């Protein structure tokens, strides 16, 4: 009887486990999976996954697969992954090449194809030794020098590294361990060495070494540590299977076979029993549990499977063609599932047996409600039709429009509260023949809850929360004096009513007071939840693809996220005994609500930098960069190694000194770029965070120093200030000097003007010399004596006009050429009279000379004409000729004046002047000084050239050439 009871207990527990199948993710080509045939998987010190596949060695960072290979690789398939202390991943191929992967490349360590001859070797790393074990021997090499250190010929059947030691099972029935001195030490010996043992494999459990093998078509399991043979019947499921690998995980033995994975646990009586079986249609080659508690399974024909949370199961044998629209726990281990096609399924959560209830009309099952007292299931559709189902009799009954389009239903001891889209009402005495309908409010209601302990009902309307007493007297409950909108209500075991207040969170209702306890700020996944269910003093909530458990006694909130495999929107939620049952559109899931292992101890992977771009140039990754001002564009690329990191992880970053608050990247974004950073000191900080910001890593930092442009550097500013200050001093000094020069110029001008005035007076005096005046007056007197009154009058008029012109011209520096010629003509007329018509002169003005626009220095030409008459023609007896001509230069920029006489010449004139010193020409000297004064501030100078006219060395006259720059008014 005892054994029968034990058998039923075993069967029951086995059935409990197998009724749910853990959610698995099959990584495929859409996820970037490069192959379907995999042999090994490990995770290195940097949390990178390495995969040995038929097509080569791959590295996986949680987002992308990178093939690591080299051109010298002879065979693509690699096996037996192991890691050394330098973070190198070692592997071997069928050709016989021993290789290691480091960063992005694969390196050949040893080519042993001549030794291995096509046999697949096992490789192990021990300190600085590489140990190679194959079917015919053992080789040991020094990793640093690649030198061979040891060789031993043995015939291996199986080998494995367990607890830091390498065990080798040989064909002579002896198990050896490899000692530190490279010697083989006998560990175990079989009594019967003649029987052939095949398909042998080592494994460990609880510090013990085990060996399993086949002998005479029987599989045997031996505890080599205690020399004890295990009860073969306990592993009967493995009799005819090929065991590929054995791992100890979660205090259980996991067997990877050609028919999936078998998990065995040990009982208190040291007996083994099968506790789970997965992937019965797959050839599983390796099993791995990562630090995030994800279970990995590599297969030889269908890629990789991952179980994110082994305690969350899916009822995979329930194939729903319709979408799930509602869920309701009915009785022990029984859950009702409403669909969009008018079908209700009753699922036994342990046996997975399904009973189908087909409604007469194909209407969507809007809601399901279980009346425990009467063992009836009320079925509401999205039309005015509703039904009740008697679970004891298995009969469906039409209820007309009693529960049609139900938004909520609450059952009291005698009544049923019914909510629909436009009203709330009570079916009084609904369980008797005296049923009455009592309207409550004609407005939309969302939630209802019956507190049987206090005989009260709570209804959440569109604009208020109302509590009704046993006489249906309403009391509006408010939060801080304001009405609230409640979408969900639940009651925990301690009697507290919990309400999800839209946009606020979850509040506790005690009496008539409302206290908000949980919201987005203190850990709630969202303030507007999809479902709330109470079990004990815990609340189970859902929002989109998330589940949360709130311990209302400790206020601890734990979350099940998409990282646990909840990829789909949750459409229904209910509690059935110890299981939380929830649904997506066409699938049903379950998890054990009392198992604390359900909530994984998540380790957020640390972020690391993969690339730094400065001005679009790739830079070596450093902790600090000092950059010139023109290289102020920086891009940070980073990564965190975790399964499906792009889906489940985000990055929080902040550039201290630039950003005012933390920013969060979108899913799949793993780079941040800053353009045109100002000069200054910055620190870029980056952290890994989960999707709901529940967990955050420590983070990494990089310092940036953007130097000031040279024009903002202190030395440049100092130099500029010095230059400005120097320029101001220079400007001030120059201005003072300019002012002084200006004053000197004014003074010089005054001196010059004074000198001009003096010269003019001298010139005037020279013109009005006594001899000229004497002769002019004598001529006038002679005309008067000879009674030549007309001639005397004419001469006197001309003389007076000339005197007046000279006086006028002496007041200005420049006069027009016409004025100068007028004065010159009067002078020559008077001189001609004085010479008694013995003087012939010709005054010519060339064509193009505008006498009224061209200006010349006043009283400038007359002195040269006077010199020609006084010194050249005066000493000649007769035939006195004087020619004066005005013309323009070829470039029209100069006035050329030519004064030519046929006098005695300059030499003779000088000899005569020497005898008569009183005849010295003051006008000539004055004009020479005037020329020097005029030329002081002129770029175009006045020039005077005097030449003698000679023939056979005899003076025939004198020519004066005057060049005056044209000055027009």
468-492: average pLDDT = 95
Structure tokens that stand for 756 in this block: 């001009």
End-to-end CA distance of the chain: 145
pLDDT digits (tens, 9 = 90+) for 676-697: 899 999 999 999 987 767 678 8
Structure tokens that stand for 192 in this block: 């019967």
Q: What was the pLDDT predicted at 908? A: 79
Query: Strand 649-656 vs strand 680-690: parallel, antiparallel, or unpaired?
Result: antiparallel
886-903: average pLDDT = 90
- Residue 462: is its pLDDT beyond 60? yes
Q: What was the pLDDT predicted at 880? A: 87
Structure tokens that stand for 65 in this block: 């697969």
CA 335 to chain centre: 49
Burial class (CB in 10 A: 0-12, 13-18, 19+), 327: buried
- Residue 109: is its pLDDT beyond 70? yes
- Residue 521: is its pLDDT beyond 80? yes
Question: Torsion angle of alpha carbons 815, 818, 823, 827, nearest 10°?
Answer: 140
- Length of the chain equals 969
Are 763 and 863 spatial neighbours (Cβ–Cβ below 8 Å)? yes
Structure tokens that stand for 358 in this block: 């087909």
Q: Using CA atoms, how far apart are residues 463 and 820, in angstroms rounded to an integer?
A: 114
Q: Using CA atoms, how far apart are residues 460 and 490, in angstroms rounded to an integer?
A: 12
Q: Using CA atoms, how far apart are residues 181 and 684, in angstroms rounded to an integer?
A: 51
Q: What was the pLDDT predicted at 13? A: 35
Helix (H, G, I), strand (E, B) or coil at 749: helix
Structure tokens that stand for 433 in this block: 């023949």
Q: The sheet that has 546-551: what strands, in order across it?
A: 531-535, 538-543, 546-551, 556-560
Q: What was the pLDDT predicted at 577? A: 87
Nearest to 15 by CA among 318, 329, 277, 335: 277
512-522: average pLDDT = 93
Angle among Cα 405, 410, 416 to the nearest 5 degrees reads: 85
Burial class (CB in 10 A: 0-12, 13-18, 19+), 371: middle
Which stretch of DSSP H or E encloses residue 965?
Answer: strand 954-965
pLDDT digits (tens, 9 = 90+) for 899-943: 999 888 887 777 777 666 544 455 667 677 778 777 776 778 889
The sign of the CA dihedral 317, 272, 598, 645 is negative
Burial class (CB in 10 A: 0-12, 13-18, 19+), 829: middle
pTM: 0.71
Q: Using 50, 70 and 90 to split pLDDT, how confident is the model at 772?
A: low
pLDDT digits (tens, 9 = 90+) for 258-310: 999 999 999 999 999 999 999 999 999 999 998 888 999 999 999 999 999 99
- DSSP symbols for 312-347: -EE-TT---SS-EEEEEEEETTEEEEEETTSEEEEE
Are 77 and 54 spatial neighbours (Cβ–Cβ below 8 Å)? yes
Q: What percent of the chain has pLDDT over 70?
A: 92
Q: What was the pLDDT predicted at 770? A: 55
659-663: average pLDDT = 91
Are 629 and 708 spatial neighbours (Cβ–Cβ below 8 Å)? yes
Q: What was the pLDDT predicted at 774? A: 65
Q: Using 50, 70 and 90 to split pLDDT, how confident is the model at 813?
A: confident
769-798: average pLDDT = 70
More confident residue, 135 or 929: 135
Q: Which residues contact 552 (CB under 8 A, 6 or more apart)?
A: 492, 494, 496, 498, 508, 517, 537, 538, 539
Q: What was the pLDDT predicted at 18? A: 37
Are 516 and 505 spatial neighbours (Cβ–Cβ below 8 Å)? yes
Q: What was the pLDDT predicted at 931? A: 80
Eight-state DSSP code of residue 707: P
Q: What was the pLDDT predicted at 651? A: 92
Question: Torsion angle of alpha carbons 851, 855, 861, 862, nearest 10°?
Answer: 80
Q: Using 50, 70 and 90 to split pLDDT, how confident is the model at 16?
A: very low
Nearest to 654 by CA among 712, 714, 702, 715: 702
Query: Strand 556-560 vs strand 839-845: parallel, antiparallel, or unpaired?
Result: unpaired
- Residue 451: is its pLDDT beyond 90? yes
Q: Across the chain, which distance is largest between two alpha carbons, in Å?
A: 192
Q: Using 50, 70 and 90 to split pLDDT, how confident is the model at 756?
A: low
Bridge partners, residue 515, by sequence = 508
Q: What was the pLDDT predicted at 152? A: 92
Placement of tokens 């064909």 in the chain: 171
- Residue 567: is its pLDDT beyond 90? no
């Amino acid at each position: 009887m005892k054994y029968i009871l034990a058998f039923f207990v075993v069967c029951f527990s086995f059935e409990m486990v197998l009724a749910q199948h853990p959610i698995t993710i099959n990584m495929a080509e859409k996820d970037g999976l490069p192959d379907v045939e995999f042999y090994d998987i490990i995770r290195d010190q940097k949390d990178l996954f390495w995969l040995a596949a038929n097509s080569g060695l791959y590295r996986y960072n949680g987002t992308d697969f990178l093939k690591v290979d080299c051109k010298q690789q002879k065979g693509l398939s690699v096996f037996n992954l192991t890691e050394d202390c330098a973070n190198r991943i070692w592997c071997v191929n069928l050709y016989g090449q021993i290789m290691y992967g480091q960063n992005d490349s694969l390196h050949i360590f040893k080519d042993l194809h001549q030794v291995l001859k096509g046999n697949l070797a096992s490789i192990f790393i021990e300190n600085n030794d590489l140990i190679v074990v194959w079917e015919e021997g053992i080789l040991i090499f020094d990793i640093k020098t690649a030198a061979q250190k040891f060789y031993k010929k043995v015939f291996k059947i199986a080998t494995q590294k367990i607890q830091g030691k390498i065990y080798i099972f040989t064909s002579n029935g002896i198990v050896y361990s490899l000692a530190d001195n490279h010697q083989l030490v006998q560990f175990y010996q079989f009594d019967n060495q003649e029987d052939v043992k095949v398909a042998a494999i080592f494994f460990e459990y609880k510090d013990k070494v085990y060996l399993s093998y086949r002998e005479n078509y029987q599989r045997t399991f031996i505890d080599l540590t205690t020399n004890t043979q295990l009860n073969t019947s306990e592993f009967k499921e493995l009799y005819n299977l090929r065991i590929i690998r054995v791992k100890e995980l979660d205090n259980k033995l996991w067997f990877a076979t050609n028919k999936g994975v078998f998990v065995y646990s040990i009982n208190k009586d040291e007996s083994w029993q099968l506790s789970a079986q997965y992937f019965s249609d797959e050839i599983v080659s390796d099993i791995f549990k990562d630090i995030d508690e994800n279970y990995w399974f590599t297969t030889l024909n269908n890629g990789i499977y991952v179980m994110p949370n082994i305690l969350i199961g899916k009822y995979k044998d329930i194939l729903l063609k319709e979408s799930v629209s509602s869920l309701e726990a009915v009785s022990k281990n029984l859950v009702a599932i409403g669909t969009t096609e008018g079908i209700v399924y009753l699922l036994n959560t342990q046996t997975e047996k399904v009973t189908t209830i087909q409604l007469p009309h194909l209407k969507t099952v809007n809601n399901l409600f279980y009346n425990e007292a009467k063992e009836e299931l009320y079925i509401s559709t999205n039309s005015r039709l509703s039904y009740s189902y008697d679970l004891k009799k298995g009969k469906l009954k039409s209820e007309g429009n009693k529960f049609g389009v139900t938004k909520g239903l609450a059952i009291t001891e005698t009544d049923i509260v019914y909510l629909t889209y436009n009203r709330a009402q009570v079916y009084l005495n609904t369980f008797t023949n005296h049923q009455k309908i009592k309207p409550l409010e004609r407005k939309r209601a969302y939630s209802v809850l019956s507190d049987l302990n206090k005989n009260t009902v709570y209804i959440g309307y569109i604009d208020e929360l109302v509590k009704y007493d046993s006489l249906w007297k309403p009391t509006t409950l408010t939060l801080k004096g304001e009405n609230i909108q409640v979408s969900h209500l639940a009651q925990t075991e301690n009697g507290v009513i919990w309400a999800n207040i839209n946009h606020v969170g979850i509040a506790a209702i005690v009496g008539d007071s409302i206290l908000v306890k949980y919201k987005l700020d203190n850990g709630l996944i969202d303030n507007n939840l999809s479902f709330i269910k109470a079990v004990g003093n815990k609340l189970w909530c859902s929002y989109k693809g998330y589940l949360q458990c709130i311990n209302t006694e400790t206020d601890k909130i734990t979350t099940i996220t998409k990282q646990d495999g909840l990829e789909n929107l949750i459409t229904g939620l209910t509690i059935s005994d110890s299981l939380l049952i929830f649904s997506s559109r066409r699938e049903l899931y379950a998890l054990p609500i009392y198992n604390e292992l359900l909530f994984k101890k998540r380790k957020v992977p640390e972020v690391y930098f993969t690339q730094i771009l400065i001005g679009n140039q790739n830079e070596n990754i450093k902790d600090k960069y000092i950059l010139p001002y023109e290289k102020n564009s920086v891009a940070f690329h980073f990564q965190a190694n975790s399964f499906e990191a792009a889906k489940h992880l985000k990055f929080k970053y902040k550039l201290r000194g630039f950003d005012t608050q933390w920013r969060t990247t979108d899913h799949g974004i793993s780079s941040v770029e800053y353009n045109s950073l100002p000069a200054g000191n910055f620190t870029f900080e980056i952290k890994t965070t989960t999707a709901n910001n529940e967990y955050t890593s420590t983070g990494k930092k990089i310092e940036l120093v953007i130097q000031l442009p040279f024009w903002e550097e202190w030395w440049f500013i100092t130099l500029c200030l010095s230059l400005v200050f120097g320029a101001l001093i220079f400007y001030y000094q120059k201005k003072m000097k300019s002012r002084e020069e200006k004053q000197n110029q004014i003074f010089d001008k005054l001196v010059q003007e004074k000198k001009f005035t003096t010269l003019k007076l001298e010139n005037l005096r020279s013109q009005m010399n006594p001899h000229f005046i004497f002769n002019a007056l004598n001529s006038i007197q002679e005309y008067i004596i000879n009674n030549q009154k007309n001639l005397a009058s004419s001469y006197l008029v001309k003389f007076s006009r000339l005197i007046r012109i000279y006086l006028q011209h002496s007041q200005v520096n420049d006069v027009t050429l016409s004025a100068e010629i007028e004065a010159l003509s009067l002078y020559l007329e008077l001189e001609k009279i004085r010479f008694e018509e013995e003087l012939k002169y010709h005054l010519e003005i060339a064509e193009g000379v505008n006498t009224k626009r061209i200006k010349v220095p006043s009283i400038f030409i007359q002195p040269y004409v006077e010199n020609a008459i006084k010194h050249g023609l005066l000493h000649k007896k007769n035939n006195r000729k004087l020619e004066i001509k005005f013309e323009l230069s070829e470039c029209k920029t100069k006035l050329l004046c030519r004064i030519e006489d046929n006098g005695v010449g300059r030499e003779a004139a000088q000899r005569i002047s020497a005898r008569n010193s009183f005849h010295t020409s003051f006008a000539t000297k004055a004009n020479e000084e005037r020329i020097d004064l005029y030329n002081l501030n002129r770029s175009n100078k006045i020039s005077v050239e005097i030449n003698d006219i000679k023939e056979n060395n005899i003076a025939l006259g004198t020519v004066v050439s005057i060049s005056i720059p044209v000055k027009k008014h």
